[in-house]
Amino acid sequence: MSRDGLPRLADLARARMSRRGLLGAAALGGVGLATGGAAVALQTPAAHLGEQSDTSMHHAMASVGDIRPGGFDPTAYLTDFDYGKVSTLPTGRTLREYYIVAEDREIEVAPGVFFAAWTYNGQVPGPTLRATEGDKVRVHFTNKGLHPHTIHFHGIHGATADGAFEQVSPGGTYTYDFDAEPFGLQLYHCHAVPLKKHIHKGLYGAFIIDPRQGRPPAHELVMIMNAFDTNFDDDNEVYAVNSVAFHYQKHPIRIRQNELVRVYLGNITEFDLVNSLHIHGNFFKLFRTGTDLERFEWTDIVTMGQGERAVLEFSYKHTGPFMFHAHQSEFAELGWMGIFQVEPALNA
């Protein structure tokens, strides 16, 4: 220990935080968030001195309050849709142009827990792109990061828009041009190698393609299940939906009684074979990939491999707080849990 009581770098290098070690801190954090947020000491600090661009845990004490001001806001992300710059082609079709920049940026995934991310537009997940089936999509990509990157879009498109081979070097640009099809919830992510690192570091986002006829009006939310390996052992220590552990526990998602809620749910978790979502006190209609408007499962839990996604629709009959979380209990205790706060219907 140093004179001020903080660990020396040599000590930190040896004290690689275990997943189980952080579990205790995260569990304490969950209690703190649920009860208003007292300060909690993280007793097992960690650091990694191997990669020049990577820093992770550089704290000895953290608050279980909010992440730093000006950081990524998971509440805003839920309903922040990027419809692109819209114009009309000579053929009468709608053209949507998006501008995405890859850049290295440190993000805060829990109070006092920092992660050296690779981001699209400075955030993890990247912006939620949204178009309508049949639109012409044009994505202008600039790589301001320190490593080659791409954007691979799930969906139907030509080879030159696939993002598997046209790697963009640092400082380079590339334009992806394709039609928006099929309708449903798609993902986009970097496809540079090593693939697991480029995805895990944060280069991913949701791409919603609405059906031409639209969907019934609803309170729409985007939830991307993800996780972070903060000590570089290929094992996640922090789990979340939309990146910030326990955020929706401290800041419940407010919905109305009997209101139709539509969740665009995707799993991009690296290092774990599956992730899941379970909601309390209710069932939901589960539309796999969102590409069918009629056939659905009726359930209260969905389990997904990496890259899977679904559209969930539900409404709450009863008011009050209802928990939602991963049904891998350890994931929930490491940050992947939240609360729907169901308020009385406006006409009640």
In sequence order, the β-bridge partners of residue 229 are: none
C-alpha distances in angstroms, 69 versus 61, 73, 335? 18, 9, 20
- What is the pLDDT at residue 111? 87
Q: Are residues 206 and 134 in the same domain?
A: yes
Report d(CA 302, CA 327) in Å as an integer: 9
Report the DSSP pairing between strands 219-228 and 238-241.
antiparallel
For residue 116, the enclosing domain spans 75-210
142 inside domain: yes
C-alpha distances in angstroms, 261 versus 97, 185, 298, 335? 28, 16, 15, 23
Q: Are residues 250 and 310 in the same domain?
A: yes
Q: Are residues 226 and 324 in the same domain?
A: yes
31 inside domain: yes
Find where tokens 């839990």 sit: 301
1 inside domain: no
Q: Are residues 174 and 277 in the same domain?
A: no
Radius of gyration of the chain (CA): 21
- pLDDT band at residue 348, thresholds of 50, 70 and 90? low
Q: Are residues 205 and 148 in the same domain?
A: yes
Q: What is the mean pLDDT of residues 29-35?
A: 36
Q: Are residues 120 and 17 in the same domain?
A: no
Q: Are residues 102 and 57 in the same domain?
A: no
In sequence order, the β-bridge partners of residue 173 are: 142
3 inside domain: no
- What is the pLDDT at residue 65? 57
DSSP state of 160: G
Q: Are residues 200 and 99 in the same domain?
A: yes
Q: Are residues 105 and 187 in the same domain?
A: yes
Give ∠ CA 279-284-288 in degrees, rounded to 5. 110
Whichever domain contains 278, its CATH number is 2.60.40.420
Average pLDDT, the chain: 85
Split into its structural domains, the chain has a count of: 3
Model confidence over 267-300: pLDDT tens digits?
999 999 999 999 999 999 999 999 999 999 999 9
E-strand spans in 146-252? 152-153, 173-179, 184-189, 204-210, 219-228, 238-241
Q: Are residues 107 and 48 in the same domain?
A: no
Model confidence over 307-321: pLDDT tens digits?
999 999 999 999 999
276 inside domain: yes
Q: Are residues 119 and 145 in the same domain?
A: yes
C-alpha distances in angstroms, 100 versus 127, 176, 226, 246, 262? 8, 11, 20, 28, 26
- What is the pLDDT at residue 347? 82
348 inside domain: no
322 inside domain: yes
pLDDT at 18 over 90: no
33 inside domain: yes
- pLDDT band at residue 72, thresholds of 50, 70 and 90? confident
Report the DSSP pairing between strands 184-189 and 204-210.
antiparallel
Q: Are residues 43 and 82 in the same domain?
A: no
